[in-house]
Amino acid sequence: MSVNSQHACNLALFGALGDLSRRKLLKALYFLDDAGLIHDDTRIIGIARQEMDDAGFIDVAKENLERFIKAKELKKNVLERFLKRLSYVTIDMTEISGYEKLAEKLKGDDKPMIAYMATPPSVFGDICSNLDKVGLNKSPNRVVLEKPLGKDLASSQEINDVVAAHFGEEQTYRIDHYLGKETVQNLIALRFANNLFGSQWNQNHIDHVQITVAEEVGVEGRWSYYDKSGQMRDMVQNHLLQLLCLLAMDPPFDLSADAIRDEKLKVLRALKPITTETINTHAVRGQYVAGNHQGKPVPGYLEEDGANLESHTETFVAIKAEISNWRWAGVPFYLRTGKRLPSKVSEIIVQFKQQPHYIFAPDQRNLAANKLVLRLQPDEGISLQIATKDQGLDKGMRLRSGPLDINFSEAFKQDRTPDAYERLLLEVMMGNQSLFVRRDEVEYAWRWVDQIIDAWDQSNEPPKKYQAGSWGPVSSIALISRDGRSWNEDS
């Protein structure tokens, strides 16, 4: 029996013709079907404005599956089975009439309906209130909300209020797709299943933590969309803070959704505010200027199509975050994320302290500190740098630092690591909220981020410039080097 054999549902995919659905969601659902993780009775209902019948939507889905899945992974029998699950309802999300058609279609069907909103947040309210009007908001029905959940605390509260007027918190699944990544979930296993790490996970043994999420791309033709958010709202408020929470939280009393989310919330509440007094020592915002990407010249942020030359929007952020509790007193968490950086990499470095008593060659002292590297991309995996004796009669007691390495795709003999959306869709279907963000988490994260953005606005200083293809402004190096540390150079 598969893990999901008891969880039949009707998945109503709002925005089924949009980019996210075409590129990611349909593909993720196909792979879940291939893995035998979708109940036989589960049906997927595509919903969008465009007039289309079931056959038309099935054609769109097939075309996109063939486009986004490698030919060797697309199995004829699975594809046939998958396409049979699909149907389509035309709905203008702002008008009630379409929802009546949906309710009629689902009449007498007692499977839970999952409303996945792959739409702009501006229509979340209409979708929820119209589902309520036709009686499709009752538990065990659920709603899934895509990011962005607002652009600050006030707008996120507005979205959450409008959803909460129609669906309970226990029916609401807020996506942060980083939480669906294997390595991120492995953080929980690594920390809480291994005494080796569990017992060392505090200020007595850890020197500092680094979280880097680097993108090679620029704004990719979406200047005006990106300019309204910037890297702080787009990446730090959600993905980087969620990673920080999982790294820093205390052990939850069990693996239930609220036990984990309670612990994450405590971390967010303990984040030391970064204010106008500390903004210059604790945060750097940058904006790329023209440079090179893979040997080719690329324009600066203010030279991209549609750019407004006055824009102060940051394309790079570096932060020294501090957590006010016993576990992390004196242990900085350095966060760094940006566009047009030299490589696409997401990784976490946990730098352990050196042994208190050192007996090897003085020039090798730096090798005697363990470093745990969690790679989210590329090549999801975990590696632990340990010091060993170098081999060879001539080496004496010289040390050598090398990795104990687990590459997930090699270690688990998988052809591919499942995409985060596969895990998240599976969890929604099973009604498990652990990998979804609770309302109070979103709001505490905004409180902390808003304060930093306000401090930048008040300073009125423009973002620091950095060349496209570099690792960000010089001041981001100063941010960490002032503390006698440096960014991980193996990225």
For ligand NDP, the closer CB: 120 or 402:
120
User: What character string, x for contact with ligand NDP (CB under 6 A) and - otherwise, covers 83-102?
Assistant: ---------xxx--------
Cβ closer to ligand NDP: 49 or 62?
Answer: 49
**Closest CB to ligand NDP among 175 and 211?**
175
Site string for ligand NDP, 35-74 (x = CB under 6 A): -------------xxx------------------------
Specify the DSSP element, H or E, that contains 375.
strand 371-377
Helix (H, G, I), strand (E, B) or coil at 40: coil
CB of 344 to ligand NDP, least distance (A): 15
Q: Which is nearer to ligand NDP, 146 or 450 (CB)?
A: 146
Binding track over 124-153 against ligand NDP, x by CB under 6 A: ----------------------xxx-----
17 binds ligand NDP (CB under 6 A): yes
Q: Which helix (H) or strand (E) holds 84?
A: helix 76-84
Task: Among 8, 78, 123, 386, indicate the residue that binds ligand NDP (CB under 6 A).
Answer: 123
- Closest CB to ligand NDP among 121 and 286? 121
Indicate which residue of 7, 166, 177, 239 is catalytic. 239
The helix (run of H) or strand (run of E) holding residue 284 is strand 283-289
Q: Is 177 a catalytic residue?
A: no
Residue in 19, 40, 394, 415 binding ligand NDP, rule: CB under 6 A: 19
Helix axes 241-248, 257-270, angle to 10 degrees: 100
Handedness of CA 121, 230, 317, 449 (dihedral sign): negative
Buried residues in 161-198 as b, exposed as e (16+ CB within 10 A): ebbeebbeeebbbbbbbbbbbbbbbbbbebbeeeeebe
Long-range contacts from 147-152, C-beta under 8 angstroms, 24+ separation: 147/174, 147/175, 147/176, 147/238, 148/121, 148/229, 148/233, 148/234, 148/238, 149/121, 149/174, 149/238, 149/442, 150/121, 150/442, 150/446, 151/228, 151/229, 151/233, 152/233, 152/446, 152/449, 152/450, 152/453
Q: Could you tell me the smallest distance in angstroms from the CB atom of residue 98 to ligand NDP? A: 8
What is the closest distance, in whole angstroms, from the C-beta atom of residue 47 to ligand NDP in the complex?
A: 8
463 binds ligand NDP (CB under 6 A): no
Q: Where are the beta strands (DSSP E) in 86-237?
A: 86-90, 113-117, 142-145, 172-174, 206-214
Answer for which of 120, 306, 378, 402 binds ligand NDP (CB under 6 A) is: 120
Binding residue (CB under 6 A) for ligand NDP from 9, 12, 13, 20? 20
Binding interface with ligand NDP (CB under 6 A): 15, 17-21, 48-50, 92-94, 118-121, 123, 146-148
Give catalytic residue positions. Answer: 239
